[in-house]
């Protein structure tokens, strides 16, 4: 328990810092941190609910709360959709790494360690894409959002694939393949749509 709390507190601090850093050139700090607080509140409420009522659904419920808080911030402060989603994405993954690492340490879970490693690799992929996406000849618009949406698409594609071949490792949710597959398709579609938009 102390390890989990410590890792989550560190994850929250990293989340706030990255979220602020990604958006600080476009918005004042009050708007950024208020949005981050909505995200944290949504995540916390849904995560706590899952822990007490539906522990096997912790990932999907906490992710739902995370997205709900993000949506509240976007609509209330009229934030740019793709830029904010990207900031929330790359801010969440280091926190997710720490969540999986805390579980790996507390329960000696190999699957949690592997999940943390995958998230680290996705962070590395994001850094690469974020640095080079404007050089891709097929990405005509050059708009911000490509890196975050691509990483999300790959993340959910991996979840769907694992749910097919190793269902006991990835989730206890029976509809995991369908949910993750639909989300992966949706994010790939958004990347394709964003590529065709004019700057």
176-185 long-range Cβ contacts below 8 angstroms, 24+ apart: 179/60, 180/156, 181/156, 181/157, 183/152, 183/156, 184/153, 184/154, 184/155, 184/156, 184/157, 184/159, 184/160
Q: Which residues of 97-127 are buried (b: 16+ CB within 10 A; e: fewer)?
A: bbbbbbbbeeeeeebbeebbebbbebbeebe
Whether the CB-CB separation of 92 and 8 falls below 8 Å is answered with no
pLDDT tens string 111-150: 889 999 999 999 999 999 999 888 887 777 778 889 999 9
Lowest-pLDDT range, 75-79, 170-174, 180-184?
170-174
For the beta carbon of residue 130, count every other beta carbon within 10 angstroms: 18
Confidence of residue 175 (pLDDT cuts 50, 70, 90): confident
Q: Is 180 helix (H, G, I), strand (E, B) or coil?
A: helix
pLDDT for res 69: 97
pLDDT for res 92: 95
Whether the CB-CB separation of 177 and 121 falls below 8 Å is answered with no
State the average pLDDT for the chain: 89
pLDDT for res 51: 83
This prediction has a pTM of: 0.89
pLDDT for res 170: 57
Per-residue pLDDT for 68 more than 90? Answer: yes
Per-residue pLDDT for 71 more than 80? Answer: yes
Lowest-pLDDT range, 28-32, 137-141, 170-174?
170-174
pLDDT for res 176: 83
Per-residue pLDDT for 171 more than 60? Answer: no
């Amino acid at each position: 328990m102390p390890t989990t709390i410590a890792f989550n507190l560190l994850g929250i601090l990293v989340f706030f810092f990255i979220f602020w850093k990604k958006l600080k050139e476009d918005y004042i700090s009050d708007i950024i941190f208020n949005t981050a607080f909505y995200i944290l509140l949504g995540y916390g409420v849904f995560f706590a609910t899952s822990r007490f009522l539906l522990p096997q659904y912790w990932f999907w419920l906490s992710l739902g709360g995370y997205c709900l808080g993000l949506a509240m911030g976007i609509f209330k402060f009229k934030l740019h959709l793709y830029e904010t989603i990207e900031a929330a994405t790359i801010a969440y993954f280091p926190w997710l790494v720490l969540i999986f690492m805390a579980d790996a340490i507390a329960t000696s879970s190999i699957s949690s360690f592997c999940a943390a490693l995958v998230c680290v690799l996705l962070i590395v992929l994001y850094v690469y894409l974020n640095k080079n996406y404007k050089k891709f000849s097929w990405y005509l618009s050059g708009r911000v959002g490509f890196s975050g949406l691509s990483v999300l698409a790959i993340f959910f594609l991996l979840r769907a694939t694992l749910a097919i071949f190793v269902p006991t490792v990835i989730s206890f949710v029976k509809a995991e393949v369908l949910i993750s597959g639909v989300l992966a398709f949706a994010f790939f579609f958004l990347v394709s749509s964003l590529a065709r938009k004019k700057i």
